[in-house]
A and B are shown apart, each in its own frame.
Chain A
Amino acid sequence: MDRLLLKVENVHKAFDGVKALNDVSVDIRHREVVGMIGPNGAGKTTLFNVLTGFLAADQGTATLRGQNILRKPPHVIAETGIARTFQRLRLIRHLTVLDNILLWRRGQPGERMVNVFFRWRASAKKEAENRGAARSLLADVGLSEKTNDPADNLSYGQQKLLSLACCLASGAELLLLDEPVAGIAPEMIEHILSIIEGLPARGRSVMLIEHNLDAVARVCSRVVFMDSGAKVCEGTPQEVRNDPRVIEAYID
């Protein structure tokens, strides 16, 4: 088994008495795709928000490669190697597809004011490199033709694909994907799932929230079922699907 990447232990988060997360513990190993399933309001997205710094946990710990990530500003957590997508699709819609990808590349000297004025040659060189890398990433995911279109002009499925590509561009080791295939056409679902399937081979780990159980069964090696803010069970997709508590929650 591969080494441990993310360790979440006993995380609690309450909103005015409503326990959104109640003693949640999850481990993600290196090169593992883990699915998070559960009814609406189970706390899956809240867990993502806590892990990426958009919400502060009330209690508990979470470490990435042994480094604490809780209660830090989102950009600091992102820097440690986590990238996420949002349930409500978020892109910089006025900017081109290429610019959206470039925004996510890390270590850009041109993003410091000092370099903008005093080391612009070095910044421009790095920017050219980044553009090259962004173009080949777009070719990889099949968005080459849209490189210079504003992100707003893409279809919904292509926008979902682009937001996944943005996470890949960041070079983050752990991707938190919030419903990456919800509400899109079957061919695009197939395409996005095949990209996610290939991620472990590229050294990435994934935590995936998804309601589409077939999709989860296909790409995830392990599934965590959550309900009312607590982890109910976890195991292989088949085990979780046959668990009576899961069946009950989905049938109710």
Chain B
Amino acid sequence: MTYIAHILVMASIFSTIAVSLNLTAGHSGLISVCQAAFFAVGAYSTAILTTAHGWPWEASVCAGACVAIAVSLCVGRVALRLGQQTFVLATFALQMIMFHVLQNWSDVTGGALGIPGVPMASAVGLQASPGLPALLLAGSAAVFAVLCVSHITRTPYGRVLRGIREDEPLMQSACKNTLRFKLNVFVLSAVFASISGSIYASYAGYVDPSSFTIHDSIFMLAIVIIGGTGSTRGAVLGAVVLVGFPEALRFVGMSSSVAANVRQLLYGVLLVGCMLWRPQGLLGKYPMCE
């Protein structure tokens, strides 16, 4: 039971990220590979503020979100002016910088050893202990993300995002300040990734740089692409499949060291398979590349 709850918690955390990342990568066509960096911002904010400074969990979530807003605004304002391919490179750079900051700023981040003993999330006297309570917390974050994103996509705002995805110059001719739209969704997805990071840190009780590498960013993007670009249900499905499937390998008798490698292989196969036979992903609306 706790095992299943654990998988569902992880699936919820990644759903939250994927659903919000879908707003940038799926609806607006902005491929970013720095989501793990924003995930790290939330996770480390919570870890540092709750352990070293004794902040309450909720306050650390807000602080993490504020840092994520500041970082994404600074990076987005510059990177979003670039072309699509250059934007990918800029987000890649942010991801690498973030990883090396975590790895080398030992006084604050604990370096490669990370920060142990992050307390459980607690709010209004309730503790999100592993199992059902943690699932409730992570699940409600995912539901909140789903509601927010589906609301946005139904409004005129979402319509403009789809327009930008297909033809940005045309949207500029139609009086849309496309930079503002792209910046807004970039920041919003950074905030959601940061909140997920805070939940993750308090759930795992321990953070170290190895959970926030470029592979994790690509994993988050893979969830969106395989689940289906532009589809909120697809993002949730992608998270459940990509988090759950490697777990299934345990039951076919694969040792965890082999399973880790098979997992990498699996992403590759799934991504190539998607490109070949289902470029729009499982439940997606638009092919990733045209």
Which positions in A face B, CB cutoff 8 Å?
52-54, 73-75, 78-79, 83-84, 86, 90-95, 99, 102-104, 106, 108, 110-113, 116-117, 120, 123, 127, 130, 166, 170
Contact = CB atoms under 8 A, between A and B. Distances in A.
Interface residues of B, number: 26
16 contacts: A54-B169, A75-B172, A75-B176, A78-B172, A84-B173, A91-B167, A94-B286, A99-B159, A104-B175, A111-B156, A111-B157, A111-B160, A113-B152, A113-B157, A116-B155, A120-B151
A92 B169 CA distance: 11
Contacts of B170: 86, 90-92
A74 B157 contact: no
A168 B21 CA distance: 35
A110 B172 contact: no
A75 B180 CA distance: 11
B150 to A, nearest CB: 12
B177 A90 contact: no
A94 B166 contact: yes
Given A103-B174, A110-B155, 10 more contacts: A52-B173, A74-B169, A84-B173, A86-B170, A92-B167, A94-B162, A95-B163, A103-B160, A103-B171, A111-B160
A74 B166 contact: no
Interface of B: 148, 151-152, 155-157, 159-160, 162-163, 166-167, 169-178, 184, 188, 285-286
A75 B156 CA distance: 17
Given A92-B163, A94-B166, A103-B163, A116 B157 contact: yes
**Interchain residue pairs A-B with the least CB separation, the first 4:** A110-B156, A74-B172, A78-B175, A90-B170
A198 B177 CA distance: 31
- Which of B156, B162, B173 gathers most chain A CB within 10 Å? B173
B166 A123 contact: no
Contacts of A110: 155-157
Contacts of B156: 102, 108, 110-111, 123, 127, 130
Contacts of A116: 151-152, 155, 157
Contacts, number: 83
A120 B176 CA distance: 19
Give the interface SS of chain B, mostly helix, strand, loop or mixed. helix
A113 B184 contact: yes
- Which of A74, A99, A130, A166 gathers most chain B CB within 10 Å? A74
B77 to A, nearest CB: 14
Contacts of B176: 75, 103, 111
Contact of B155 (A53, A83, A120): A120
A83 B171 CA distance: 11
A111 B152 CA distance: 10
Nearest to B162: A95
Contact of B166 (A83, A93, A130, A170): A93
B157 A170 contact: no
Nearest to A53: B172
Contacts of B160: 103, 111
Contacts of B159: 95, 99, 102-103
- Which of B151, B160, B169, B175 gathers most chain A CB within 10 Å? B175
A144 to B, nearest CB: 20
B288 to A, nearest CB: 14
Contacts of B172: 53, 73-75, 78
A119 B178 CA distance: 21
A106 B175 contact: yes
A163 B132 CA distance: 54
Contacts of A79: 175
Nearest to B183: A113
A92 B157 contact: no
A108 B158 CA distance: 12
B46 to A, nearest CB: 25
Contacts of A130: 156
B19 to A, nearest CB: 16
B8 to A, nearest CB: 28
Contacts of B166: 92-95
Nearest to A107: B175
Contacts of A127: 155-156
Given A94-B166, A95-B162, A116-B155, A74 B184 contact: no
A54 B175 CA distance: 13
A112 B157 CA distance: 7
A112 B177 CA distance: 11
Nearest to A172: B175
Contacts of A83: 173-174
A90 B286 CA distance: 18
B234 to A, nearest CB: 16
A191 to B, nearest CB: 23
A42 to B, nearest CB: 22
